[in-house]
Amino acid sequence: MRSHGKGKTELGRNWITQFLDRHPALSTKFATRYDKQPSSASNPIVLWDFITKVYQAITYQILR
C-alpha cells in the first residue's frame, strides 16, 4: 500500500472486490458443508482408503 504512495495502513471497505477485479485469475468459492455424508465421513475404513489413494497419487506424481 505504501508503495502506491497512499500512505494508508488500513484496508478499505471493498478492497477484496477491487483486488479480485484487478486479478481475474483469482476467484472466490463458497465452501461446501463437510457433513453432507456424515456416515462415510466418520467411517475409519473409508477415511483410510481415501488417505491411501491420495498418498499413492502424490507418490506417483513425485516419482514420475
Domain spans of the chain?
39-64
Query: To which residue does cell 455424508 refer?
Result: 37
Cα 12 versus chain centre, distance: 24
Tell me the whole-structure pTM to 2 decimals.
Answer: 0.35
pLDDT in tens, 6-46: 566 788 888 888 888 898 888 777 776 665 556 666 778 88
Which cell numbers hold the place of 45? Answer: 475404513
38 vs 51, higher pLDDT = 51
Please report, as a single letter, which amino acid is at residue 61: Q
Contact between 51 and 58 under an 8 Å Cβ cutoff? The reply is no
Per mean pLDDT, which of 42-46, 54-58, 59-63 is the most reliable? 54-58
Grade residue 52 by pLDDT with cuts at 50, 70 and 90. very high
- Name residues whose C-beta falls within 8 Å of residue 18's C-beta, 6 or more positions apart in sequence: 12
How many angstroms separate the CA atoms of 55 and 58, rounded? 5
